[in-house]
Chain A
Amino acid sequence: MTGEGATAMTGGRTVSAAVDAAVAGDGAGWDALFDRFYPVVLRFAMARLGDRSAAEEVTQEVFVAAVASIRSLRERREPAVEAWFLRIARFKIVDRFRRGRRPDLEVPGDLVAADDPAEAATLRMEAAEVRRAMERLTDEQREILVRRFVLDQSLEQVAEATGRPVGAVKSMQHRALAALSRRLGRREAA
């Protein structure tokens, strides 16, 4: 739902029509859903895992799992379908953490290719710190931060996707950032 509204078209279809087609076994329906939600799921996974390869693996698992459970999807408007994909992603990420598969320690190619590798490395470390601190937040707080800052969703979009009033989302975001600051401050002090 990054930017588009509930009636957004994916490959000439609405999300709802794409879901209908996918449920009916139409490959084009799956393609439309894939094109629409692959980038969203990939970013969501990256925000939690911090490792590109792991995020890509998880994203692939999400779409395979979606095939198995799409019949259980009742609400077929775009925000609901996106929330459904992200819910599957959350399960897959938790499963990955549970299995103890941590991000690879290889030096990413984009870091090596950066104009200023030292600065890129610093940014990466800061990002890793934030990810670690975020693991201490609640699921709801984490989701709101990812939607707002990674998926670039507006407060209204987050409110619609999560089924909360805009004011509640704003308040939760504020508390989440405050908690994050405290945790990051504690780390820096330590």
Chain B
Amino acid sequence: MSTLSSLSTALNSAMSALKASQAGLSVASNNIANVNTPGYSRQRIMLQEAPTIGDTISVGTGVHILGTEAIRDQLIERRIWNETSGKSASDLTHQSLTDIENLFNEAGNTGLLPLISNFYNSFQKLSTNPSSPELRQQVISSATALTQSINSRANELRDMRTSIDRSIGEDVSKANILIGQIAEVSKQIHEAEATEPANDLRDQRTSLIKKLSEVMNVKELDSNGTYQLTTGNGRPLVIAGTAIPLAVGTSSGGLTTVLSGPHDITSEFSSGTLAARVALRDQTIPKYQQSLDQLAFDLATQVNQLHSVSYDQDGNTGTNFFNPIAAVPGAALSLQVNSVVAADPRKIAAASQPGGTDNEAAIALGNLVNATNPPRGTITDQYRGLVFQIGSETASVQVDFNQHESTLTQLENMRASLSGVSIDEETASILQFQRAYQASARVITTIDQLLQVTLAMGTAGA
């Protein structure tokens, strides 16, 4: 091997080292730049020694830059998506339950219970003086306060349910936008990775799926070059770069449904805001509506049964105190004092005898506060049950939310531990490449001097 060719080999390998150091510096710089970018996976430069040449002594020819690799564990990412779905579902459920809880909060001064007690007590008061117009009016006032309060709670539950139903459609639109973006990015990844790993695009897709996970739980299948994203139940969302958007329909009951092609998948979601909204709309809120309806129905029925066989101040009988309610569903919305009675308090049937002067019916009506209605117990027992149910359900969702939050933080920490950028580490790496760059530059200077010596030798010999 000639001196010149071996010097130029050395020059080349020093040049490759300079390039490698520069590349290393720019990777470190990119990592630092993205230290706060959500979903960013730190990258590492991949270097390989260049092949050796020479016949007598083999010498390496420098360093090859193979490219960059992103440090990520897809398994952790998938667990993060899963936990994100769980957290967003319990967060939303907790918010809604807190709203419902406010309707049945007896801690303040606006509870329903004092109104129930006042209503029954107003009959007991009337029993002390059944002919008093003031006490009769008081019965009407306390009954009206009670019915209005039950009506407004029933109204709020109904409005909550309607607004949640509307949000289901909004969730689907939000999901469809994300599905479209994921499909687009998947297509780009497929094209780009024909040549080299598309780290940034993969990071981008991971972030998009995490956003989608807030809406619904998803599954990813990335094998044999075909990328698939499906719902938790396997309904396709993205197949090989093509988006398969969900659609919104209307059920026979006028409620929003979620469609995947021809299939109604409304109740298939197990977590994410979509699942939470469907559960609130179809189970949770109807359950509290049913409890309140039952309470209103029993209240009106018990009072009417007694009132309609008792006698009013003019000795007439057969009047209902509340407008009769035919069925339990919707009872809380329609509960109302009979307008005939409300307009004329003399029509309150306080007497058990046709004379209309005694107080026995008033006592009996007041005593309904203790009347049990098997298996539901008294009206107060029913209300107690409602308060217990909303209280314990809200508390358990709060626990659920805290658990998801902790697990998610743990997973994010695991992810950060693997894929996150550490400024200290990058600083060290900059130092490392800086020194390598300085050393390579030194090598080039040295070779330059040697080449000059060699060239001067040639001139002297000629």
A and B part of one assembly:
no
